Amino acid sequence: MSAERSKVTLVVDGVEVTADDGAMLVDAAKEGDVEIPVFCYEPKLGGPVGACRMCLVEIEGIPKLQTACSTPVRDGMVVYTRTDRVIESQSAVVEFLLVNHPLDCPVCDKGGECPLQDIAMGWGPGRSRMTEPKRHFRKPMPLSPLVRIDRERCILCYRCVRFSQDVAEDEQLQLLERGASSHVGTFDDHPYIAPFHGNIIELCPVGALTAEAYRFRARPWDIEDSGSVCTLCPSQCNVMFTVRDEHVQRVLARDNDDVDAGWLCDKGRFGFQMITSEERIVEPRVGGSRAGWEAALDAVAERLRSAGERTAAIVGGQTSNEEGYLIQRLLRGALGSANITSVDELEAGLARRLAAPELGAAVPDLDAAESILVVGTDPLNSIPILDLRIRRAIRQGRARLVVASERPTALDGGAEETARYAPGDAAGFLAALAAELGNRRQAGAGTPGRAADEVPGDGSDWAEGARRIAGELRPGKTVIVYGERLGRGPGGDSALASLLECARALDLATAGAGVIGVPEGANGRGLREVGCLPGAGPGFAEAPAGRGLDRIKQGLLDGELDAVVLVHADPIRNLPDGPGWAEALRRARTVIAVSAFDDASTETADIVFPAESYAEKEGTVTHPDGRLQRLRPAVPHPGNVHPIWQVLAELGARLGHETGIGSVPEAVATIAAEVPFYAGITPEEIGGRGVRWQERPAASAVAELAAVPPEQRTSRTNLDRDDSGTLTADRLRLGTYPALWADEITDRNVALRFLAPAQTVELAPSDGERLGLASGDEVEVRSNGTGVRARVALNERMRPGAVFLIEATAAENANALPAELNVEVIKP
């Protein structure tokens, strides 16, 4: 956290105002309740541009009027915002802005919430002397399938263009032409499609950029705003639902600099249509036919009672802490089963150590870090908002970024160094990095490490990358953003243990430094902390060892398990070895699914409960950096949907395990009582902005966790297999990755469907050449007799010998391939 800024005192319109030193006048004036109108000023976009000229004010001692948006305050400054000169300049600017504005407010979507309307009413001359014809553009044109552009309304404030240029850095949206013919556009009329482009709608101070989905849906006086948290991905951005007639019509960002810095990705912004989808499951089903709640609950209770400890549960990322807590309690308490896990399962000891409060970095720590290491994840795909955050940190010139990953990431361009290891080799690479960092620490900074000999595997390859990466990392001032999927698979534990060693070698247990794990599920961290982890109960308490994902699958296949409960989880689509899961679920005696939509897994389910959508849910979730956030219901439940916590509590009661939980606050209180580091937390304390448990006094309760002695590096590495660090030319090793738009959210939202990617196989150009493949070729990726069809994309930043497929696509899912590293790419 930065130090308190010093204060200065100035006089605005005769009122003495105290403001932060270096603050811009327009912000400082607010302290004195003086509003200075602005259009182009938006601190989220970076420095001021002074283009709209709306904020001109008079400053004593300066003959010319100055733009308040770009003038930093000084002590003793005397400012006037309502003198005749200033009023004249304001009315002049408004008059000029309206010269070419169509003034079609009644048909404009922005009408009623339009800064131009407000400022024209508040500061404008009230009439226009303009009698000439206005400029005309064809209108309103789709800028993308999600955004419409009406260039006639544009006042050329540059906000959208600056967003594209300076925030998302995609540089697709530009100002074209010059002077009075300037307009916002793209190259050669190509659509502007980028993961964050929806933000320009919210940035636009007029109705020039409007959302296709919200077009003419409501006026500000028709709607109610309801603040909550988006749980479509681990970013957990703070959102504001616009609700009309009990339907979510729009999602806006609810600025929370500690979480999202005021931005939303397009998935969060446009992914609300599924809430009102016709396809939603709105009634419980037993054996494929609709049933009442009583009948369904009875059926479930009966089956679970008979399955008893031979029950397992898999919890998906959209599950709230309360639901997670109750499902683990149902299993552990009512059924005596320890087989509870989430899609983000980690080995319990590692989970404990990774959750140590002093090791955890907060999202704002990225802003001040001197170096950032992104390892084993592509934030754009897995936690999009962090991608913007990291870009901003680099842009502001403080942080140096290094990326170590299997697959090229969207951040590579801004990275000082990138290291690419082969799919499945994360453990080896991290071990090399840990060794390198350890050596550097011992030798003192600056000495080149001599770790090569000690590194297992083919050291030359990993060690070189590790050396480059390590050279950029600043001890004590680094934030590591790692993908928790590093912990998957045979070498997973070893990879995370090495990561912990890296953190130790870098002294990351200090303020402003640390690690942020990127889970697969939106609430991956929270679910672990409330006990959805085999081998650890709420608060990582010691608990009887249970089965993890792989062993649950195996147990179902072997008949050792009878029942499985899937909460917001679709293992067939989303987990590796989808066919294995399909078989396992088919063989299971009882499958109980809680899901909002029908999917491959609910098809196998005997009993299906309708799930709430995130806009209907009440409860808490935990951000990957430990921030507890509140979900508040914005719309009522459709049809016969009941809150899942209620269903779970009721089930527990029917199975003879009374929880005493009758409301969400009671559930929160129960969790707070059981999880030591959540102690005393209440929904009120969490409030609208959330609270990081690491920053609460109760966090000391986990000091113990951190003190757990480092475990021996587990022997379960992949190194005992014949794959070593170097890839040979004749073998291709398969990696899979979660693409941003390859999930059920994209499929369920009509507006987003066009983004769903077709399966693509990425190859290094050298491999493509060797195999005679060019970009766009249709091929089959085969492994052990199973194949996935895909289109070839050659990527220069790929590591030779590796191929990548997208996970969880609607068709030709990479998860349909058996868990096998080596594949063939064949032209059919």
Partner 1 sequence: MRPTDELTAAERRELIASMRPEDAEGVPALGELDVPAALREQIETAMARYPQLRSAAIPALWAVQRHYGWCTPQGVREAAAVMGVTPAYLEAVATFYDLIATSPIGRHRILVCHNISCWMNGADELLGAFCDAAGADRDDADQHGASSADGEFFVKGFECLGACDIAPMASIDQRYYGPLEAADAVAAIEALRDGEEPLSDKALALRPAAGGPDPSATERAPDAEGHDA
Partner 2 sequence: MNEEFPYLKDAEEVVTVQRGPEPGGAKGAYRAFGETLRGLRTTMARLIEGPMTIQYPEEKTPVYPRFRGRHKLHRFEDTGLEKCVGCSLCAAACPADCIRVVAAENDPDDRVSPGERYAAVYEINLARCIFCGYCEVACPFDAITMGHEYELADYNRGDLIFTKEMLLAEPVERTPLRREGE
Partner 3 sequence: MPETRVLFRDIDAPGLATIQGYRDRGGYGALKRALHELEPDELLSSLEDSGLRGRGGAGFSMGKKGSFLPRGEMEKYLCCNADESEPGAFKDRELMQKNPHQLIEGCAIASLAVGATYAFVFIRGEYWEIADILDRAVGEAYDAGYLGADILDTGVRVELIVHRGAGAYICGEETALLDALEGKRGNPRLKPPFPAIQGLYGGPTLINNVETLSNVPHIVNNGADWFKGFGSEQSTGTKVVSVSGCVQRPGNYEIELGIPSREIIYGLAGGPPKGRRVKAWFPGGSSAPVLTEADLDLPYTFEDLAKAGSMLGSGSIIVADDTISIPELALRTARFYHHESCGKCTPCREGTNWTTKMLDRVVRGEATPMDLEIIAGVQEKIIGHCLCVLGDSMAMPVGSMVAKFRDEFEATIEAAREAGHGALDHSPLDRPLTTGAQAA
Nearest-angstrom CA–CA distance, 237 and 699: 24
Q: Measured on CA atoms in the order 733, 377, 328, 320, is the torsion positive or negative?
A: negative
Nearest-angstrom CA–CA distance, 509 and 501: 12
Closer residue to partner 1 (CB): 121 or 774? 774
Helix (H, G, I), strand (E, B) or coil at 293: helix
Task: Pick one of 170, 283, 298, 674: the residue that binds partner 1 (CB under 8 A).
Answer: 170
The tokens for 47 are 């420095």
- How big is the site for partner 1, counted in residues (CB under 8 A)? 36
What letters, b where the CB count within 10 A reaches 16 and e where it falls short, cover 679-689?
A: bebebeebeeb
Q: At its nearest, how many Å lie between partner 3 and the CB of residue 48?
A: 7
- The Cα-based distances of 736 to 458, 465, 485, 718, 742 in angstroms read 23, 21, 11, 17, 12
Q: At its nearest, how many Å lie between partner 1 and the CB of residue 161?
A: 8
From the list partner 3, partner 2, partner 1, none, partner contacted by residue 650 (C-beta under 5 to 8 A by kind):
none
Closer residue to partner 1 (CB): 91 or 795? 795
State which amino acid sits at residue 225: D
Q: Is 92 in the site for partner 3 (CB under 8 A)?
A: yes
In this chain, which stretch among 130-138, 269-277, 394-402, 605-613 interacts with partner 1, using CB under 8 A?
Answer: 130-138
Look-up of token digits 């029908």: 598
Look-up of token digits 């013919």: 181
From the list partner 2, partner 1, partner 3, none, partner contacted by residue 106 (C-beta under 5 to 8 A by kind):
partner 2
In this chain, which stretch among 9-17, 166-174, 337-345, 531-539 interacts with partner 1, using CB under 8 A?
Answer: 166-174
Q: Is 790 in the site for partner 1 (CB under 8 A)?
A: no
Task: Pick one of 46, 50, 72, 112: the residue that binds partner 2 (CB under 8 A).
Answer: 112
Q: Is 194 in the site for partner 1 (CB under 8 A)?
A: yes
Task: Pick one of 132, 278, 796, 828: the residue that binds partner 1 (CB under 8 A).
Answer: 796
Q: Is 188 in the site for partner 1 (CB under 8 A)?
A: yes
Nearest-angstrom CA–CA distance, 561 and 563: 6
Contact letters for partner 3, residues 173-212 (x by CB under 8 A): --xxxxxxxxx-x--xx-----------------------
Contact letters for partner 1, residues 142-161 (x by CB under 8 A): x-xx------x---------
SS3 content of the chain, % helix, strand, coil (to 5): 35, 20, 45
Task: Pick one of 9, 13, 30, 99: the residue that binds partner 3 (CB under 8 A).
Answer: 99
Q: Is 103 in the site for partner 1 (CB under 8 A)?
A: no
Q: Is 804 in the site for partner 1 (CB under 8 A)?
A: no
Task: Pick one of 132, 453, 542, 796: the residue that binds partner 3 (CB under 8 A).
Answer: 132
Q: Where are the beta strands (DSSP E) in 172-257?
A: 174-176, 183-185, 209-211, 224-229, 238-244, 247-253
From the list partner 2, partner 1, partner 3, none, partner contacted by residue 51 (C-beta under 5 to 8 A by kind):
partner 3
Q: Quick check: 651 and 304 in contact, CB under 8 A?
A: yes
The H helix count followed by the E strand count for the chain is 26, 34
Nearest-angstrom CA–CA distance, 651 and 648: 5
In this chain, which stretch among 48-56, 533-541, 555-563, 721-729 interacts with partner 3, using CB under 8 A?
Answer: 48-56
Q: At its nearest, how many Å lie between partner 2 and the CB of residue 223?
A: 11
Which residue, among 660, 675, 659, has the nearest Cα to 620 in the 3D structure?
A: 675
What letters, b where the CB count within 10 A reaches 16 and e where it falls short, cover 311-343?
A: bbbbbbbbbbbbbbbbbbbbbbbbbebbbbbbb
Q: At its nearest, how many Å lie between partner 3 and the CB of residue 133?
A: 5
Q: Which stretch of DSSP H or E encloses residue 679?
A: none
- Measured at the alpha carbon of residue 574, what is the angle toward residues 532 and 430, in degrees to the nearest 5? 75
Which residue, among 437, 499, 483, 465, has the nearest Cα to 726 in the 3D structure?
A: 465
Q: Which stretch of DSSP H or E encloses residue 26?
A: helix 25-31
- The Cα-based distances of 744 to 145, 188, 588, 599, 747 in angstroms read 19, 33, 24, 9, 5
Q: Is 115 in the site for partner 3 (CB under 8 A)?
A: no
From the list partner 2, partner 1, partner 3, none, partner contacted by residue 542 (C-beta under 5 to 8 A by kind):
none
The tokens for 518 are 């990127």
Q: Is 212 in the site for partner 1 (CB under 8 A)?
A: yes
Q: Is 95 in the site for partner 1 (CB under 8 A)?
A: no
Task: Pick one of 17, 26, 54, 77: the residue that binds partner 3 (CB under 8 A).
Answer: 54
In this chain, which stretch among 83-91, 488-496, 552-560, 749-757 interacts with partner 1, using CB under 8 A?
Answer: 749-757
Q: At its nearest, how many Å lie between partner 3 and the CB of residue 94?
A: 9
Q: At its nearest, how many Å lie between partner 2 and the CB of residue 469?
A: 52
In this chain, which stretch among 169-177, 429-437, 524-532, 626-634 interacts with partner 1, using CB under 8 A?
Answer: 169-177
Q: Is 106 in the site for partner 2 (CB under 8 A)?
A: yes
Q: Is 105 in the site for partner 2 (CB under 8 A)?
A: yes
DSSP string, 577-603: -HHHHHHHHHH-SEEEEEESS--HHHH
Nearest-angstrom CA–CA distance, 745 and 597: 10
Task: Pick one of 136, 215, 721, 731: the residue that binds partner 3 (CB under 8 A).
Answer: 136
Q: Is 4 in the site for partner 3 (CB under 8 A)?
A: no
Closer residue to partner 1 (CB): 165 or 595? 165
- The DSSP letter of residue 72 is B
Which residue, among 563, 548, 483, has the nearest Cα to 343 in the 3D structure?
A: 548
Which residues 125-184 are close enough to bind partner 2 by CB under 8 A? 140
Task: Pick one of 78, 87, 141, 750: the residue that binds partner 1 (CB under 8 A).
Answer: 141
3-state secondary structure 450-467: CCHHHCCCCHHHHHHHHH
Contact letters for partner 2, residues 198-237 (x by CB under 8 A): -----------------xxxxx-xx---------------
Q: Is 215 in the site for partner 1 (CB under 8 A)?
A: no
Q: Quick check: 815 and 760 in contact, CB under 8 A?
A: no
Q: Quick check: 814 and 806 in contact, CB under 8 A?
A: yes
Q: Which stretch of DSSP H or E encloses residue 628?
A: strand 627-631
Task: Pick one of 112, 490, 665, 765: the residue that binds partner 1 (CB under 8 A).
Answer: 765
Q: At its nearest, how many Å lie between partner 2 and the CB of residue 111?
A: 7
State which amino acid sits at residue 342: S
State which amino acid sits at residue 21: D
Q: Is 95 in the site for partner 3 (CB under 8 A)?
A: yes
DSSP string, 155-170: ----HHHHIIIIIS--
Q: Is 50 in the site for partner 3 (CB under 8 A)?
A: yes
Which residue, among 244, 334, 311, 285, has the nearest Cα to 556 in the 3D structure?
A: 311
| Binding residues vs partner 3 (CB under 8 A) | 48-54, 56, 64-65, 67, 70, 88-89, 92-93, 95-97, 99-100, 129-130, 132-133, 135-138, 141, 151, 155-156, 158, 175-183, 185, 188-189
The residues binding partner 1 (CB under 8 A) are: 136-142, 144-145, 152, 170-178, 186-188, 190-194, 212, 741, 754-755, 757, 765, 775, 794, 796
Binding region for partner 2 (CB under 8 A): 104-107, 111-112, 140, 215-219, 221-222
